[in-house]
Structure 1
Amino acid sequence: MMSLDLLPDYIDKINHQFEAEQDIQALVTEIHEQVSDDQIAILLESFPLKLRLTLWQALSDEAQQNIFIVMKHESRELLLSTLEDEQCLPLLTKLDAVHLLELSESLNDRFIDYAVSNMNAKQRSLYKKSCDYALDEVGHWQNFTEIQLPQRLKLSAVKKVCSKKLPSFTEVIYIVDDNGVLIGEIPVNAIFKAESDQEYRDSIDTDVEYLLSNEDIADASEKLIDLDRSALPIIDENRCLTGRLDLPTAYRYKEQTLEAQLNQSGGLVEEEDLFGNVWQSSKNRAVWLGINLVTAFLASWFIGLFEATIQQVVALAVLMPVVASMGGISGSQTITLIIRGLALGQINDSNKKSIIAKELKVGAINGVLWAIVIGAITFIWFDNPLLSLTIFISILGNIVIASLSGVWVPWILNKFNIDPALSGSVVLTTVTDIFGFIVFLGLGSLLLL
């Protein structure tokens, strides 16, 4: 499998051949032989639509079907909106229930109905079963590759089943009664070690870790990862086995959540395509630019309160960006760490005080260090010890407050069910700017006038 580090080389080769109007079929074939479907999806998303479609048409039908599944939502929507129906429909003919569930967000009802109509009866039933659950429930994310065997089955028959190729991430076989109620599980290796029916039944563990089908998917994913299991069974309210949540699905959900938070922290929609629709991209970002503008005017209003001071001591106006910048950078470093910790479930009430104490110490150390450096530079520049003292105290105070705000802002937003990745940076910038300007200009009024 090719490393992602080599993708830039292929991007250069494709652009060169396209600009030279050379046939790229041979190059696309070479790429397909060496690159995974996931990486080809990333490669395609690196080109404007015209060239992307040329590359897409050069891929085989099978490759198109596989790559279509692993594309980002917006990239898939962009492709579907550009291709003719007769080119889109073949992409939907071999989808199973799990894949269609993953793709349903970027498919309209007409395409979903077509995909469902091309499923076999079993996959159609499984898809409808998963659709009964909300997007944030485990049942919506379950897969149906678990091996379940009736309790009454004899050891010889069980061994025969297990001797066949088992689904990936199968450590245990689930044992159910005639009504499909989960009774227990038995490790696959214990089945082959057993020499009698009684030894086999004695090896069945009835104390099974399981997930409820209506359980929150985020909590369930954390539970699975923490237990260091490859999969956990999912049961309904009647304890009937409905499917399982496997480790790749749990990690994929976490990765999607973290990527969404990263995009939202910059005011982007989830999985925005590099060459997505210009007007849609502008609309998505304009909202947060507007919010940022409001907070900027708020900070400017506070500065205006010290207009007389600034007019008399011009040096304060020169140095104001330094105060704001140092506070903003310090806060951004902390808030990035805290948002990641919240997303991974590493932060709760029990360790909150320890985190605050640690960030307070970090802020104090960096605050003293850079306050000394900036104070010394200010003294050399303006030859004014009171001005140096003013900026020393302001830098120290703003970095400490920024470090604390970097913890408290996302924590408070999270408590109110507001995504800290979406709004945390805007709130943090407002807090550090206003505090920094008030301290800096307030001290300037006291010490320099």
Structure 2
Amino acid sequence: MLENFTDKLSLVIDDIITAESANEIATIMQSANDTLAPDQFALLIEALPQNKRLDVWTTFPTAMQRAAFVDMGQATRGHLITLLSDDECFDLLSQLDVDEVIEIAEEIPSRLLKYAIKCLDDSQRKLYQQAQQFSTDAVGHWLDYNYVRISEKLKVSSAKLLLEKGLAPYTEDFYVVNKDGVLTGILAINRLLQSDNDTRLSALFCPEAPRLKASGELSAAADAVILSGKMSLPIVDENEHFLGRFTVATAYEVKQELQTEQINNAAGLSTDEELFSSVSSSAKNRGIWLGVNLVTAFLASWFIGLFEATLQQVVALAVLMPVVASMGGVSGSQTLTVIVRGLALGQITEQNRKVLLHKELKVSALNGVIWSLVIGSITFLWFDSLVLSLVIAMAILFNLLIAATSGVMIPALLNKLNIDPALSGAVILTTITDIFGFVVFLGLGSLLLL
């Protein structure tokens, strides 16, 4: 048996795709249910062609159906809902708790959402309504409610009794509140265990413990939890009333989702596109950015057309043009990737951007000198023309410098315009490096070769 969970998942996917009947799939899943990790069931459904999904879904244990339904992507969940009857959907939704309902609330039909809310008990419905007071971009919308809240007037002996009931994952602190529900401090469980039973909690808890505002931005809250070194941080409203907590697990999920969104945006993909989205849906999502790219390509072609006479007389220039464009595009993309990642992590400011620009220019200058000499030498051996070698060497050097400048400045400009640099930065950068590279290369060719 393979120890690697990824290898196990891959084998199960291969076996299901080659299976010829629902009975054969059921046999495969009998062993898979014992070998796959819990979070792999959603990945399994997403990785299967749409005509295989229902046969696999019906083999999932009830608990796995619930977890997979929440974990899977929006597009996959939407497709699964179309395959299931309303009664099957209602039965599934009736098992969800408030955290799970909040997570999928924006992604399921309203009739199903209403039923899921109806199935919550009174206390959970209140928590759901509390979450709806905040936008989906605010941390208050995504709180974890599996915490221990205790009164500041209790003794240690009373607090220790709560430990006998068991603690939820990521619990290392008790949250201490006054009679009005205001968070007055945090009590570490380790300190509680080491304290005398007759001691008042007011003498033990830390009143200056870190906390986050419920109205705060979600990504910033995720960073705060991760950097705090804590398993979770308490969340309060504007009046310091304790609302819930934000765990490190949720923080990492948020960061992962943001990274996935940036990757999709950089490739011009819709965030709700999955592996087996319909052909029409995938074509529509990608076609828009193909159109944008077409416009920029025609723009570059127009600049090339300005040198039509030069190209007719010096055919070697046309042969070497892809080299100039490729080197500039790759160099610029490398710089752009570093800068976009730095922006996403909050590492780039107005002050250090100039330093970054100088550094990237030095890197491009060094690479430009090295690779212009290499490409110039190859060109000389190929075409036996010293002047042509000089032309392409200079074009490569200048294009790498403009690529570095563009890679640093384009994300900064797009950021100021509230446009995601990961979404359109690559298209703009490629256009600039292509046009600049062609103009320099063909311009020098016109001056020196004709």
- Report the secondary structure of 2:174's partner residue: strand
Within a 5 Å distance, the mapping from 1:283-322 to structure 2 comes to: 283-322=284-323
Q: Which moved more, 1:288-297 or 1:404-413?
A: 404-413
Partners of 1:414 and 1:197 in 2: CA distance: 57
Partners of 2:409 and 2:37 in 1: CA distance: 42
Asked whether the equivalents of residues 213 and 236 of structure 1 are also in contact (C-alpha less than 8 Å), the reply is yes
Within a 5 Å distance, the mapping from 1:16-415 to structure 2 comes to: 16-18=18-20, 23-198=24-199, 200-415=201-416
Deviations 1:241-300 (A, max 9, x none): 001111111111111011001011111111421111211111111111111111111111
Asked whether the equivalents of residues 268 and 286 of structure 2 are also in contact (C-alpha less than 8 Å), the reply is yes
Structure 2 counterpart of 1:248, one-letter code:
A
Partners of 1:4 and 1:224 in 2: CA distance: 29
Cα drift, residue 119 of structure 1: 0.9
Partners of 1:354 and 1:288 in 2: CA distance: 33
Asked whether the equivalents of residues 2 and 35 of structure 1 are also in contact (C-alpha less than 8 Å), the reply is no
Structure 1 counterpart of 2:132, one-letter code:
C
Deviations 1:32-62 (A, max 9, x none): 1111232122122222111122211222333
Structure 2 counterpart of 1:61, one-letter code:
T
Partners of 1:200 and 1:239 in 2: CA distance: 19
Partners of 1:369 and 1:358 in 2: CA distance: 17
Partners of 1:211 and 1:9 in 2: CA distance: 44
Partners of 2:169 and 2:62 in 1: CA distance: 26
Structure 1 counterpart of 2:75, one-letter code:
E
Asked whether the equivalents of residues 330 and 403 of structure 1 are also in contact (C-alpha less than 8 Å), the reply is yes
Structure 1 counterpart of 2:155, one-letter code:
K
- Report the secondary structure of 2:24's partner residue: coil
Partners of 2:354 and 2:204 in 1: CA distance: 46
Task: Name 2:446's counterpart in structure 1.
Answer: 445
Q: Which moved more, 1:352-361 or 1:412-421?
A: 352-361
Asked whether the equivalents of residues 153 and 202 of structure 2 are also in contact (C-alpha less than 8 Å), the reply is no
- Report the secondary structure of 1:268's partner residue: coil
Partners of 2:261 and 2:171 in 1: CA distance: 30
Q: Which moved more, 1:80-89 or 1:297-306?
A: 80-89
Query: TM-score, structure 2 length as denominator?
Result: 0.96
Asked whether the equivalents of residues 260 and 270 of structure 1 are also in contact (C-alpha less than 8 Å), the reply is yes
- Report the secondary structure of 1:242's partner residue: strand
Partners of 2:400 and 2:124 in 1: CA distance: 57
Cα drift, residue 222 of structure 1: 1.3
Cα drift, residue 142 of structure 1: 1.1
Q: Which moved more, 1:266-275 or 1:384-393?
A: 266-275
Cα drift, residue 197 of structure 1: 4.0
- Report the secondary structure of 1:417's partner residue: coil
Partners of 2:171 and 2:23 in 1: CA distance: 48
Cα drift, residue 181 of structure 1: 0.5
- Report the secondary structure of 1:418's partner residue: coil
Structure 2 counterpart of 1:257, one-letter code:
L
Structure 2 counterpart of 1:115, one-letter code:
A
CA separation of 1:118 and 1:200: change in aligned 2, threshold 3 A: closer
Cα drift, residue 200 of structure 1: 4.1
Task: Give the fraction of aligned pairs with identical amino acids, expressed as a percent.
Answer: 46
Asked whether the equivalents of residues 338 and 407 of structure 1 are also in contact (C-alpha less than 8 Å), the reply is yes
Unaligned runs of 5+ in 1: none
Task: Name 2:13's counterpart in structure 1.
Answer: 11
- Report the secondary structure of 2:116's partner residue: helix
Query: TM-score, structure 1 length as denominator?
Result: 0.96
Cα drift, residue 30 of structure 1: 1.1
Q: Which moved more, 1:314-323 or 1:81-90?
A: 81-90
Partners of 1:268 and 1:189 in 2: CA distance: 47
Unaligned runs of 5+ in 2: none
- Report the secondary structure of 1:104's partner residue: helix
Asked whether the equivalents of residues 2 and 36 of structure 1 are also in contact (C-alpha less than 8 Å), the reply is no
Q: Which moved more, 1:333-342 or 1:293-302?
A: 333-342
Cα drift, residue 337 of structure 1: 2.1
- Report the secondary structure of 1:436's partner residue: helix
- Report the secondary structure of 1:23's partner residue: helix
How many residue pairs match? The answer is: 448
CA separation of 1:94 and 1:423: change in aligned 2, threshold 3 A: same
CA separation of 1:180 and 1:341: change in aligned 2, threshold 3 A: same
Partners of 1:66 and 1:214 in 2: CA distance: 28
Structure 2 counterpart of 1:3, one-letter code:
F
Asked whether the equivalents of residues 73 and 105 of structure 1 are also in contact (C-alpha less than 8 Å), the reply is no
- Report the secondary structure of 1:272's partner residue: coil
Partners of 1:231 and 1:269 in 2: CA distance: 32
Cα drift, residue 232 of structure 1: 0.9
Asked whether the equivalents of residues 154 and 197 of structure 1 are also in contact (C-alpha less than 8 Å), the reply is yes
